[in-house]
Structure 1
């Protein structure tokens, strides 16, 4: 079959599975499709936010900040670029939020945060769970022996059900932190650095004055929260002179991209969920309201602990252990403590998935081999319960079959990719948007083909 004239313009990032530090282990975790890395689609609105901090008026209608912003140009490598602390102690029923970012990005965050106000008439999800346990919630936050705080199911939770929703306590630009690849510590999802920022020594923030000055900004961001304890009660994993808020962020934050800026988002309720290498839940960020949700990846029984993965899914045992060293604990999840024979079998399947993924993309791969390998790949992914990555896999399959001149199969995989992406990713984010655009290309080719033949 001849190749169609139209070609999909899929992001090359999808195929860069070995680009991060742990090459083999991260071969099945693409940064561009992670729901925590979807760009914030709300454009920055022009507002009185874009001013010097000493000229801000807190009496301007609709201006959400409850404190004057604190700004500096010391954190960025871009000459004159300003980063500030913006806080609202009244946000989220008085729990508060602080943004450490540029004024332009903060304006966009306000536009998204405003949309959350009407999202739920009763936001019981966001009340202090240690103090108030609602009988209609599907979960409870309790102390789990050997793990500290954790989350358990209080009733049966069905696959794909939204378990919990959490508003941010803090969103901080990565300019306030060292480069991730230069330190042993990390965040729950490693962020790919953008731009041409220069590397800086471990323990320093970007900018010559950044390290010392950052402590003042962390303290201001913390002090201006309405409920500081919501943040201070979270786990810490670093030692030394690091500010307590920076420690909490590095231990508990999720990576995300907001208006093109790499950031870390702190969502205290979701952060209560402990790690498992074969988790039963997945964190999902929605850009329209800045909400982080936990979505069940399979049925969860009453009394079962609800877990997420702090590291990319699909890693073999040795690579998982290395990555989890960032949190200074040895994983005792069911996958890591399974008998050696079972662990070896799982590792073999995951290594085979990596082999297949690259073999399928070889330009010399024949169409018949592609069909066989696709079937084997899907079977292995199902055995390993990598359902949250199916959308990523199927998007790649869509491109491969399209390039082999089979737009009908490409459409099938594209539609399946979008189905799973809308469950586990931001529906308005970059991944889902690109999938819809790619499907339009495929459908156009199919329509043209049908018109010519008929």
Structure 2
């Protein structure tokens, strides 16, 4: 198991889960009037749905299997007679009338120890209904969700196992794969004790090539982040215990295995599941609302500031892919960065300390001269980005300056092994060339940025849409120049 309290970290891949649907019995026409329990459970004052639109999600759709466009998954609660596709009737508790939670954007994964709560903006959560939803057959293991009815409705399509691509479903690294001897032999990882202080970790049992899948996993438990603040201790424990008890026994045992060696006091024993949450969760969004996700095998991957893997998250299938940055040898531990890449030493130490441990990776324990040189390169990278951004906006860039900064940027990124940051830096270079109307170069780097975002974040990543918006900006700017030249002629 990784360091105590070490895995409560933000995930760099963000985005809402796609709202599609798999079960006709959980539909309601978007033009119909919501029934009484849905109306009472309306989350955050969302409007009633319009035709072809789902009020509780940014996604409307048609389903692939239906011709109609005016359907939405129906939010269900403990007042609903039909709660398909969930395995049990939802069990719900309302927040007290004086409940407040952190304002969206300030949630964080968990409340940080010693944080000044008065400095954090808060919003009213009076009477908000939090329910337990369980799908006992999800991905062959089960899933329990603690969230509001509208947020649970956004997960309906994602429960469909058939949506997972065969290459992911049947891969030896997938938790969905049949555990026969042949597939077990092909699994790229084993869980074992690693270096002192890190407990258990994932270690390579065979060579994994660059871009190869290390692990393909799925959440076993999810929860809306603000339920930890909105509900009193006793109510939280009731929901947590229900969420655990409704899962199949093997799933319960897999979750409890994450607590080994971490229980420090009586409160940890009483709120065992919450303790596991705080030590193992990954941050995600559902329809723009912060949730956390517990993924058992992925929680075993320890931190390194120069990791050898990265995570891809599919919003529409709730699939976590752990992918190799580089070739990984037999016996090498798989690592992941719990922090944004590119931070200098002081910032990394301050950030990681919030999660309750000190990083002892090779970069953080390097000799002072090596650390100083690394910090200089990382600081300079930020300066290059800021310069390109500011001077592009002011119209001050020239081709020579862009090319000089681009060459320096590539040396620094390769020297610091920060290739994933090219997702953002290529987009900045594209905007820089666009500012001087070098359209061919702008298109080239926009294409590079899009390809990197897809590689590191999947087609569903929010920033993929951002890069595609850039294509329209390039096209519009090129048309504007042609029109300007035509008028001059």
Structure-2-length-normalised TM-score: 0.72
In structure 1, C-alpha distance between the alignment counterparts of 2:408 and 2:202, rounded to whole Å? 35
1:152 counterpart = 2:152: no
Paired with 2:356 and 2:180, the residues of 1 have a C-alpha distance of 29
Contact kept, 8 Å, 2:12 with 2:340, in 1: the verdict is: no
8 Å CA contact retained: 2:18, 2:316: yes
Q: Is the 8 A contact 1:39 1:259 kept in 2?
A: yes
Higher RCO (CA 8 Å, separation ≥ 6 residues): 1
Unaligned runs of 5+ in 1: 1-30, 178-204
What does residue 173 of structure 1 align with? 224
What are the ranges of 5 or more consecutive residues in structure 2 without an aligned counterpart? Answer: 1-9, 29-72, 102-123
The structural deviation recorded for 1:440 is 3.6
| 1:140-219 map, 5 Å | 140-146=190-196, 147-177=198-228, 205-206=229-230, 209-219=231-241
Aligned to 1:410: 442
Question: Which residue of structure 1 lines up, in the alignment, with residue 56 of structure 2?
Answer: none
- Do structure 1's residue 333 and structure 2's residue 361 form an aligned pair? yes
1:122 matched to 2:170? The reply is yes
User: Match of 1:90?
Assistant: 137
Assess, with a 3 A threshold, how the Cα gap between structure 1 residues 118 and 411 changes in structure 2: closer, same or farther: closer
Q: How many residues align?
A: 388
CA separation of 1:131/1:140 partners in 2, compared to 1, >3 Å: closer, same or farther? farther
Residues 39 and 429 of structure 1 are in contact (CA less than 8 Å); yes or no, is this contact kept in structure 2? no
The alignment partner of 2:208 has SS state of coil
The Cα of 1:317 is off from its aligned counterpart by: 1.4
Per-residue CA deviations over 1:315-344 (Å, capped at 9, x if unaligned) read 111221222223433322221222222222
Contact 2:397 2:435 in 1 (8 A): no
- The residue aligned with 1:382 is 414
Q: CA–CA distance in 2 between the matches of 1:134 and 1:273?
A: 19
Residue 354 of structure 2 aligns to a residue whose secondary structure is helix
In 1, Cα distance between equivalents of 2:225 and 2:456? 24
**Structure number with bigger Rg:** 2
Cα distance in 1, alignment partners of residues 483 and 324 from structure 2: 43
User: Which of 6, 11, 18 is residue 41 of structure 1 equivalent to?
Assistant: 18
Distance 2:180 2:303 in 1: 23
Q: Any residues of structure 2 matched to 1:33-112 within 5 Å, and which?
A: 35-43=12-20, 46=27, 50-57=75-82, 63-74=84-95, 77-78=124-125, 80-93=127-140, 95-112=141-158
Whether the aligned pair in 2 keeps the contact of 1:41 and 1:429 (CA below 8 Å) is no
In the alignment, is the contact (CA less than 8 A) between 2:437 and 2:478 conserved in 1? no
Pick aligned residue for 1:293 from 321, 328, 332: 321
Residues 370 and 164 from structure 1, CA distance in 2 versus in 1: closer, same or farther, beyond 3 angstroms?
same
Instruction: Tell me whether 242-251 or 166-175 shows the greater mean CA deviation.
Output: 242-251
1:278 Cα shift?
0.1
Q: Deviations over 1:324-373 (max 9, x none)?
A: 22343332222122222222211111111122222222245432333322
Question: What displacement does 1:260 show?
Answer: 1.4
Question: What secondary structure, in the 3-state scheme, does the structure 1 residue paired with 2:155 have?
Answer: helix
2:423 to 391, 399, 403: 391
